[in-house]
């Protein structure tokens, strides 16, 4: 059942797009469409943010008719934890605009059917030929679909706008290395202009990630201390309690570096470290983010152990359940050296951040599901209080929680009530749920609406994608060609990763912030048997 009650539905200050469009999903029978795209579009329909005359056309190889497609998606919305409470009337109106075409992605007849259907929709409803294509398909099919769209006349260059517009949304992974990313960019650019391409990263649509820019640039007390003079270091953590589940074969090809760092985490780094843009708009914001990625110092292979750590989870007991090691998961090589955990120490070599380390980690089967950014500020230059052993003085921390409890916390020192001057850390906390009394929009709602309105601010540009690959590809190549220094598996399910990850910070006199599990994520026990630290 849907998890969001009717009274939690957001009353959005956004207006619905003035221009309608037809939303064409390649791969409409897949998991992404069921779990994310259709529930997000339904939520926009509930919030009255879809334009009048909006239509969805699904294309996939799975045989279906319009009515069976609507029934499948209706069930997906009812089962979704991200969809608002099911409203029969809203769904009925929304589903009337849903269509389905059964076709192979390289078959000309499929594109002929699409041409006929789009012409029918645009003529019958007097809609302009605004078309938003979404590639919810494996990367191996992207070049084929893009080429066919060009060959069959679906795309008008941005510089030659007619009565309508054409845009395309491309899902990650955007290539698997620099060469493939450049090849895919070249293939897309033969058909689409860069201004028409929306490379989606759902992390950038999260409410807290967007609020990070507002927090930094809309508050005069924050920006003056957001630099090397006051910041000791930055931590970015994206931890998952789940393993690879049914994605073993995919993960064997990807690994943690490709799956999380090349896109999500380097984008978070760019937003944290970027200089103020001239305005909040596509080119200005994305220019500043690209500046950061260009300024990241490449990892030196000669001191790789001091800058990068990899790990792979082993068996463990979590919440009383015995969990398998990565090598025992379905679709995984029993001798696999693919990393399920990565920790990096990076530096941004510019005026604002020189010599400030950015520690970034991500992994599966970790202790707690959490995504957060921690800004640790430098200690005061002189502590004149006469502190006793009972006093607790910790550095000031700014904690930006992206998931699961979106919000911002500030930890600082305060006096304990009483006649003596005793100090201890206290925390101020801002929670989205408590402050605004609303359920934040899902990332896909925000991003799909931005694409309909032609706002590319939260989407990746080709240069940023290639900069990220340039940074990580040498590390990917080294790890692919060498065995781990500590034999895999090297951390237990339910732990915080390999001990070498802790050493990455301990060598600098620092430590990871390991947030406790929420009540729903309590850990009964961890069994590290057979794990080499």
The residues annotated as belonging to the active site are 264
Element (H, E) at 168: strand 166-170
- The answer to whether 45 and 73 have CB atoms below 8 angstroms apart is no
> How is residue 25 written in tokens?
């999903």
> How is residue 4 written in tokens?
């969001």
State how far the Cα of 140 lies from the Cα of 251, in Å rounded to an integer. 16
Q: Dmax over Cα atoms in the chain, in whole Å? A: 84
* Helices assigned H by DSSP within 97-138: 108-124
Distances (CA, A) of 245 to 249, 323, 341: 10, 11, 15
Kindly tell me the sign of the dihedral angle through the C-alpha atoms of 378, 380, 381, 387: negative
State the residue for tokens 């599966």: 364
> 214 φ, ψ to 5°?
-65, -45
For residue 13, give the 3-state DSSP assignment: coil
State the residue for tokens 């930890």: 411
- The answer to whether 459 and 451 have CB atoms below 8 angstroms apart is yes
DSSP string, 340-374: SEEEEEEEB-STTTTT-EEEEEEESSBSS-EEEEE
For residue 238, give the 3-state DSSP assignment: strand
DSSP state of 518: P
∠ CA 408-410-414, rounded to 5°: 155
User: Where does 76-137 show beta strands of DSSP type E?
Assistant: 98-102, 131-135
State how far the Cα of 479 lies from the Cα of 487, in Å rounded to an integer. 13
> How is residue 208 written in tokens?
């807290």
């Amino acid at each position: 059942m849907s998890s969001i009650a009717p009274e939690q539905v957001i009353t959005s200050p956004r207006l619905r797009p003035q221009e309608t469009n037809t939303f064409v999903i390649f791969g409409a029978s897949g998991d992404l469409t069921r779990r994310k795209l259709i529930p997000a579009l339904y939520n926009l329909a509930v919030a009255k943010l879809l334009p009048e005359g909006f239509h969805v056309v699904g294309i996939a190889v799975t045989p279906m008719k319009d009515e069976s497609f609507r029934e499948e998606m209706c069930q997906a919305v009812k089962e979704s934890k991200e969809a608002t409470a099911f409203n029969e009337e809203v769904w009925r109106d929304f589903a009337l605009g849903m269509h389905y075409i059964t076709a192979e992605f390289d078959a000309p007849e499929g594109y002929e059917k699409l041409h006929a259907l789009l012409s029918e929709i645009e003529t019958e409803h007097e809609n302009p030929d605004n078309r938003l294509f979404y590639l919810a398909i494996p990367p191996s099919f992207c070049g084929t679909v893009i080429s066919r769209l060009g060959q069959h006349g679906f795309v008008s260059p941005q510089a030659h706008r007619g009565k309508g517009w054409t845009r395309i949304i491309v899902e990650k992974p955007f290539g698997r290395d620099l060469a493939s990313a450049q090849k895919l960019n070249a293939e897309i650019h033969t058909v689409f202009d860069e201004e028409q391409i929306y490379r989606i990263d759902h992390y950038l649509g999260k409410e807290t990630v967007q609020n990070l820019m507002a927090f930094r640039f809309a508050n005069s007390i924050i920006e003056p201390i957001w630099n090397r003079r006051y910041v000791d270091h930055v931590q970015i953590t994206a931890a998952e309690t789940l393993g690879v589940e049914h994605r073993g074969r995919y993960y064997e090809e990807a690994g943690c570096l490709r799956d999380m760092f090349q896109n999500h985490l380097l984008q978070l780094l760019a937003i944290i470290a970027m200089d103020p843009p001239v305005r909040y708009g596509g080119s200005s914001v994305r220019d500043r983010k690209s500046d950061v990625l260009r300024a990241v110092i490449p990892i030196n292979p000669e001191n790789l152990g001091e800058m990068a750590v990899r790990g792979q989870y082993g068996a463990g007991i979590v919440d009383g359940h015995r969990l398998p090691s990565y090598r025992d998961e379905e679709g995984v090589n029993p001798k696999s050296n693919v990393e399920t955990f990565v920790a990096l120490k990076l530096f941004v070599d510019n005026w604002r951040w020189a010599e400030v380390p950015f520690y970034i980690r991500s992994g599966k089967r970790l202790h707690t599901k959490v995504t957060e950014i921690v800004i640790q500020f430098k200690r005061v230059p002189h502590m004149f209080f006469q502190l006793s052993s009972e006093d607790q003085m910790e550095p000031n921390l700014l904690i930006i929680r992206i998931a699961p409890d979106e919000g911002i916390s500030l930890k600082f020192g305060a006096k304990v009530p009483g006649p003596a001057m005793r100090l201890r850390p206290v925390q101020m906390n801002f929670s989205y749920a408590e402050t605004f009394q609303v359920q934040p929009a899902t990332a896909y709602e925000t991003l799909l609406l931005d694409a309909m309105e032609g706002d590319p601010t939260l989407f990746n540009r080709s240069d940023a994608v290639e900069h990220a690959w340039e940074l990580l590809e040498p590390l990917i190549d080294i790890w692919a060609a060498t065995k781990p220094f500590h034999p895999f598996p090297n951390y237990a399910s339910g732990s915080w990763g390999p001990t070498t990850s802790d050493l990455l910070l301990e060598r600098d006199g620092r430590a990871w912030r390991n947030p406790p599990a929420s009540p729903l994520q309590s850990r009964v026990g961890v069994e590290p048997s057979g794990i080499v630290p």
